[in-house]
Structure 1
């Protein structure tokens, strides 16, 4: 079985972390998001994984190599310009000569994609969308079904347009002939392909999952998914050390906490000194939070930031890489170094 992972885009919603890496390579529970996806695909019997991207492909290629360590054949297909979700898959046409899965590169889930593949074959459609019941459909595409077949689809509906609570998870099983319906240009699954297929009465099926699924492409969703898997515990990578207070948090490799850490995530080599407090925040690699400093809640701090003694980073702030917040200063909002302002 083959799977395509969509990793295009610059991950702007996860800045400042994505100034220095690509979104699928952001650590989640101490290994890159995309590592979780590839590992799960391999365990479920997928043998070939194709990554489509247009941003920092070398970071992912260096990490995975040929995929042998994961038991898969790993390939990268580069877009010269953004092609949209469907367009990027069409761009990988030369690798897709059989039924294949499509997964978004910022999804963390417990969905059995191999089972979805089998269900797709039984239902006999050209394309199957994995659906999930949600309370707020405003941020999703929604589908209406008759038996197993999708009869209507609407992307991010207005309140008066809502006809279903079944949301698109961005996980698909697709027959290769569908690629012939996608032009060699920017083309989106939800906005372009699904409406086209329904209009032409091409069979799209739906499969409803009740497993955990989350798009971790925003800090809020990333943190909520982290807490789901922590289940009230802490997770410490090798070399991490604690001689302070840590609650419901993740510590990356060689991080050290002598202060207080609550419901937060530290990447590699982060130091939180005695008397410092970090609350419900995401802290990039190599950052130092000095004595008596305070961060959060709901902050995102980039790599190699220094929060000097007694400084305060107000809630909902984002601080870009390599910035120093001076001793006893109080900062808020967005702080970005000049070299990243035009990205």
Structure 2
């Protein structure tokens, strides 16, 4: 009697400290920051569920206690959601190995691995189908989602042969051997996870993948250049949120907003205020008369006072932008205060509780 294949499982590596996103991550993990109106991980979980994944394991560390109250047990996506704590930093590979006990023991099972800070619209179901297709009678050991970029000099490159087999992992170079780069979504054969060393920090990019290629394992690339963005910086977070609201970034988590903005039902927006350009205004936020919010994220309980202008920025929870103030391309931490008429310039970060102007 033929045994039914094990359900497809997934691991989301969500243990980073989010230092590139400070001050937004001073009080919460980056993976729960709002993108397009929902916590970022909801985009990833919804995409996994849509591709047929039935069990998702979150590998957590920083503020680990905050995940389950937000995401629950996975039932609203029709999946099972488990949580495994990483007590000391273990790197990407170490984090994957650390959750092995929460996965099915079937050695031939497929396990999708997602980096917890990448928003992607790529064909995950297609990658799973490609992973399940043998090459010359051999089962694929690992599949990597690859994207082609216009200029690969800032990235490590992943060259492949005509059959899609990964040939090497090449460090950053002024003369890249290919425009293909690692996009942060992998599919592991379950047995491969057990070969990752335990109890120490391991990088899949620098140690696991090159080691598998050197040992003759079948590592393939799945090239798909659909929407893809690393949301690891405040500006990238804003851009990703705008893309979700405007429908540029297709996601099963939320629909695009037909009027170009997503405003929580209990937010207060004055009729004379403007909220547009893919902006998100979260619960309890207040936008006063004459204020303009363009292409920005206004988080829970924040206040944009009368005649203020906020463009391309993140305004953290309970922060306040004073009357006729100007905030452009900036990041305001929790409870930050920008005084009346003050200006915050491109790239500035106002710390938690800091007063400016």
1:272 and 1:314 map into 2 onto residues whose CA distance is 16
Show CA shifts across 1:88-146 (max 9, x none): 10111112322200011111111232221111011431000011111132443321111
Given the alignment of the two structures, is residue 280 of structure 1 paired with residue 312 of structure 2, yes or no?
yes
Report the counterpart of residue 230 of structure 1 in structure 2: 245
Q: Secondary structure at the match of 2:160?
A: strand
Show CA shifts across 1:205-229 (max 9, x none): 1111132111111122222223323
1:126 to 141, 165, 175: 141
Structure with the higher strand share, 1 or 2:
1
Deviates more, 1:91-100 or 1:49-58: 91-100
1:158 to 173, 186, 198: 173
Report the counterpart of residue 314 of structure 1 in structure 2: 345
Given the alignment of the two structures, is residue 95 of structure 1 paired with residue 102 of structure 2, yes or no?
yes
Report the counterpart of residue 269 of structure 1 in structure 2: 301
1:5 to 12, 23, 28: 12
TM-score, normalised to structure 2's length? 0.86
Q: Secondary structure at the match of 2:10?
A: strand
* Alignment of structure 1 residues 125-204 onto 2, 5 Å: 125-146=140-161, 147-155=163-171, 157-160=172-175, 162-184=176-198, 185-204=200-219
Show CA shifts across 1:147-173 (max 9, x none): 121112224x1214x101011111001
1:67 and 1:203 map into 2 onto residues whose CA distance is 32
2:275 to 240, 246, 249: 246
* Alignment of structure 1 residues 99-114 onto 2, 5 Å: 99-114=110-125
Shift of 1:247: 2.8
- Structure 2: gaps of 5 or more residues: 1-7, 247-258
- Structure 1: gaps of 5 or more residues: 330-343
1:110 and 1:315 map into 2 onto residues whose CA distance is 29
2:152 and 2:102 map into 1 onto residues whose CA distance is 34
CA contact (8 A) 1:130 1:169 kept: yes
2:83 and 2:153 map into 1 onto residues whose CA distance is 33
Shift of 1:47: 1.1
Report the counterpart of residue 338 of structure 1 in structure 2: none
1:72 and 1:322 map into 2 onto residues whose CA distance is 39
2:276 and 2:65 map into 1 onto residues whose CA distance is 36
TM-score, normalised to structure 1's length? 0.90
CA contact (8 A) 1:141 1:190 kept: no
Pair 159,144 (structure 1): closer, same or farther in 2 beyond 3 Å: same
Q: Secondary structure at the match of 1:285?
A: coil
Q: Secondary structure at the match of 1:181?
A: coil
Shift of 1:50: 0.3
Report the counterpart of residue 341 of structure 1 in structure 2: none
Question: What is the aligned-residue RMSD (CA, Å)?
Answer: 1.6
Shift of 1:237: 2.0
1:121 and 1:250 map into 2 onto residues whose CA distance is 39
Q: How many residues align?
A: 323
